[in-house]
Amino acid sequence: MISSIDVVTLAICLGIVNLLQFVAFFIQYRIDPARPGPGCWTVASALGCVGLVVNFLRDFPSIQTASVVAYNLSLIGGQLLVYVGILRFLGRRERRGPLWVLAGLAAAAALTFTTVHDDIVARRVCGSVLYALLCFASSRALLRYNTPDIAVGARAVAALFTANGLALAALAAVPALPPLGLPQLSPPLPMTLTFLVLLVAGPLGSIGLIVLGNQKLAAENRKSHERVRTSKLFLQSVLDSLTAHIALIDADGGILLVNRAWRDFARQNGLDPALVSEGTNYLCACDNAACRNAPEADSFANGIRKVLAGELQQFAMEYPCHAPHERRWFVGRVTPFPGDGPSRVVVAHEDITARKLMEIALAESNRKLEALSATDPLTGIANRRRFDEALAGEYARHARTGAPLSLVMLDIDHFKKFNDAYGHAQGDACLAAVARAMAGCLHRPGDLAARYGGEEFICLLPDTSSQGARAVAETIREAVAALAIPHAHSSAAAVVTVSIGALTAACPPDADPGDLFRQVDALLYKAKDHGRNRVEAGGDGPPAQSGGPEKGIVRLFWDEAFESGNPAIDRQHQLLIAKGNDLLLLLTTQAADCETLAAAVDDAFFHVAEHFRDEERLLREAGFAGLDEHAAEHERLLQQGLALARECKEGVSPADAIIRFIVHDLVMVHMLAADVLYHACFADPAGPCSARD
């Protein structure tokens, strides 16, 4: 009966079986795509399907040879991929060298016994031997590399592959039977038996591999469930070990999970833990607490809602929760719970009472320490630390406003000799007396007197021009000398005196405030080098400053950079700036009547006219070549000013027009631009400005 079965029919059946195996392996691959192995098995079955199609082409003479070779290679290639898939399924990597050799032998045998010597028996024998070798290799891999969770199934599948290999090997040995005196199997019986072996063993092996895959997946699922259960137990254990009160809240405010500390806190406050544990609504509890004069509860509930809605990444809030017998503080934190599904948050309350009490005590200690640390214990005035802080703050403020900042630094002349001669007790008394005298010369609230170190003292004078700084410095020098503390060993005077450096400077935002200290220190040493008991002033204070007509912000400042080299002109310029400031003060900070304002304008322009006449005379004597143009500019400015004065008397000249004339026309344009042209005449009388064409 077996001999009557058509081989072509068996080949077609084998192709159909491969197609069914392809469907089964593809489904297995889709179930667990990350699993190595099923992908190779799916491709192996696909090769069998390709072999089925190719087998139908052998009836065409032109491609018969190619179709026979391709069909034989599809069978060997499919089994080779099954072996590779088994290795990968078991977590092993294939050795590609031997596999390429095996594939090469299969191709060589198929080509040799088809194109060189068309021998179907030889093709069958070679194919069966190679196929059997791959079956034995697959069986060995299953027995050697299986894991305990699939050990039984792996042994069963290995037995199937072994049986398949043995059967094919036996059929491959059929041509050797006659020489051994054994009965011969007449064709096509060996080929028929070979196909029958493949038809039976192939599906059984595929079923076994699919069962192994499912066993592996089930074992991993069991392990995963065990890990999840262990993780839950571990999480609950960790949560219960924490001192913070922790709860997991769902999107509606319902409590899903709490730890032991949460329940214990409820119990300690006279609440039934069941009322604030799983199954209750925490947001409702917060809303009820807010109605009982606990506004913090409402704020915390709003924070939870915002985190749940995604409006906040997290929320934290410190709040008091005092009990009748103790003061308590807590910090509440709300963070999103990671993972898929509906929004949930983790709410944690931590007792920070110990920290808050410590902070309160520390703040009180710091306040007391701050008062002590900011004062020099000997003199009672500010110390260096306090001065450095004040300088940094004032520097930043002056950098914004553009106002001048002045420093006055003084050093007691020959103080070491005083100490050596009169003793340290008298030296300390001298330092204290000088400090009091210095501080007594500062009258504005923002001024600061400080001991900078040893016998050095320093004053911070915000919004102070160079004239003001020099005046304060001279007042301090005179006040110290007026103490009349005897100093027989001083080369400066018979009493204690001081050398002073006075600096007025602008405050560029990108500069270091320490630069001001270095500059005023240099001025102090200049005063010492020039004989002591004197004031050396300097600096680069800002030029005449102006602002809009807003109330109380418009002022002009004299700077040494404005000096022309002629004392008479410079004194008049300083007088004009002072008169201008008086007028600006009247315009921007006082509600002056027309008569008062007109008188002030007349007085200011009277001095302007007088200055113009004197300046033209001095420039004529100096031989200034641009005198005619300069005098014409004087006349234009004078006529413009007189017109403003007349309008002011009539009550029609607006204040901003007068401010613009003083600040812009007189100072910014004329004094800082036009007047600079003749400075060289007084700096170098032989210079080009004296030459006449």
- Burial group, residue 432, by CB count within 10 angstroms (0-12, 13-18, 19+): middle
Are 506 and 631 found together in one domain? no
What is the DSSP-derived secondary structure letter of residue 414?
Answer: T
Phi-psi region of 442 (alpha: psi -120 to 50; beta: other; left: phi over 0): beta
Q: Please, which pLDDT band fits residue 594 given cuts at 50, 70 and 90?
A: low
Are 392 and 490 found together in one domain? yes
Transcribe 121-164 into DSSP letters: HHHHHHHHHHHHHHHHHHHHHHHHH--GGGHHHHHHHHHHHHHH
What is the pLDDT, as a whole number, of residue 553? 47
- Count of alpha carbons within 13 angstroms of residue 372, beta-carbon side: 6
What is the pLDDT, as a whole number, of residue 500? 96
Whether pLDDT at 481 is above 90:
yes
Tell me if 118 is assigned to some domain.
yes
Distance CA 268, CA 259 (A): 15
What is the pLDDT, as a whole number, of residue 551? 40
Are 12 and 125 found together in one domain? yes
Are 206 and 288 found together in one domain? no
Strands (E), 274-404: 315-320, 329-336, 344-351
Whether pLDDT at 504 is above 90:
yes
Are 60 and 175 found together in one domain? yes
Are 192 and 286 found together in one domain? no
Q: Please, which pLDDT band fits residue 178 given cuts at 50, 70 and 90?
A: low
If you average pLDDT over residues 523-531, what whole number do you get? 92
pLDDT tens per residue, range 89-137? 888 988 989 989 988 998 888 888 888 888 888 888 888 899 899 999 9
If you average pLDDT over residues 180-191, what whole number do you get? 68
Are 19 and 68 found together in one domain? yes
The residues that bridge with 382 in the sheet, in sequence order, are 375, 450
Q: Which of the residue ranges 196-205, 429-438, 524-533 would you say has the lowest mean pLDDT?
A: 196-205
Tell me if 82 is assigned to some domain.
yes
Are 213 and 263 found together in one domain? no
Q: Please, which pLDDT band fits residue 498 given cuts at 50, 70 and 90?
A: very high
What is the pLDDT, as a whole number, of residue 372? 77
Whether pLDDT at 3 is above 90:
no
If you average pLDDT over residues 583-605, what whole number do you get? 67
CATH code at position 611:
1.20.120.50
If you average pLDDT over residues 214-233, what whole number do you get? 86
Tell me if 365 is assigned to some domain.
no
- Work out how many domains the chain is built from and give that number: 4
24 CB-near residues (< 8 Å, 6+ apart) = 45, 206, 210
What is the pLDDT, as a whole number, of residue 583? 72
Please answer whether residues 449 and 382 qualify as being in contact, where contact means their C-beta atoms are separated by less than 8 angstroms: yes
Helices and strands (H and E) in the chain: how many: 21, 10
Tell me if 373 is assigned to some domain.
no
Most confident of 6-15, 272-281, 351-360, 644-653: 351-360
Q: Give me the torsion for CA of 309, 310, 316, 317, rounded to 10°.
A: -40
Q: What are phi and psi of 269, to 5 degrees?
A: -100, 20
Q: Where are the alpha helices (DSSP H) in 441-552?
A: 466-482, 514-529
The residues that bridge with 329 in the sheet, in sequence order, are 320
Tokens 């009493």: give the residue.
Answer: 495
Are 592 and 678 found together in one domain? yes
What is the pLDDT, as a whole number, of residue 346? 92
- Report the Cα–Cα distance between both ends of the chain, in Å, rounded: 141
Q: Which pairs with CB-CB distance under 8 Å and at least 24 residues apart come from 642-645?
A: 642/605, 644/601, 645/598, 645/601, 645/602, 645/605
Tell me if 480 is assigned to some domain.
yes
Residue 9: CB atoms within 10 A of its CB come to 11
Are 575 and 534 found together in one domain? no
Are 209 and 124 found together in one domain? yes
Whether pLDDT at 449 is above 90:
yes
Tell me if 364 is assigned to some domain.
no
CATH code at position 137:
1.20.1070
The residues that bridge with 462 in the sheet, in sequence order, are 405
Q: Where are the alpha helices (DSSP H) in 32-95?
A: 38-55, 64-89
Distance CA 410, CA 459 (A): 9
CATH code at position 477:
3.30.70.270
CATH code at position 285:
3.30.450.20
If you average pLDDT over residues 443-468, what whole number do you get? 90
pLDDT tens per residue, range 18-56? 888 888 889 988 888 888 988 998 998 888 888 878 877
Tell me if 368 is assigned to some domain.
no
Domain boundaries, position 37: 2-221
Whether pLDDT at 689 is above 70:
no
What is the pLDDT, as a whole number, of residue 442? 92
If you average pLDDT over residues 441-467, what whole number do you get? 91
Rg of the chain on CA atoms, in Å:
52
Distance CA 607, CA 618 (A): 16
Tell me if 255 is assigned to some domain.
yes
Q: Please, which pLDDT band fits residue 254 given cuts at 50, 70 and 90?
A: very high
Please answer whether residues 200 and 160 qualify as being in contact, where contact means their C-beta atoms are separated by less than 8 angstroms: no
Please answer whether residues 45 and 18 qualify as being in contact, where contact means their C-beta atoms are separated by less than 8 angstroms: yes
If you average pLDDT over residues 148-176, what whole number do you get? 87
380 CB-near residues (< 8 Å, 6+ apart) = 432, 435, 436
Are 180 and 34 found together in one domain? yes
Q: Which of the residue ranges 3-7, 69-73, 650-654, 655-659 would you say has the lowest mean pLDDT?
A: 3-7
If you average pLDDT over residues 464-483, what whole number do you get? 92
Residue 113: CB atoms within 10 A of its CB come to 22
Does the predicted model carry a pTM greater than 0.75? Answer: no
Q: Please, which pLDDT band fits residue 233 given cuts at 50, 70 and 90?
A: confident
Q: What is the mean pLDDT of the chain?
A: 84
Distance CA 47, CA 246 (A): 59
Whether pLDDT at 250 is above 60:
yes
The percent of residues above 70 in pLDDT, for the chain, comes to: 89
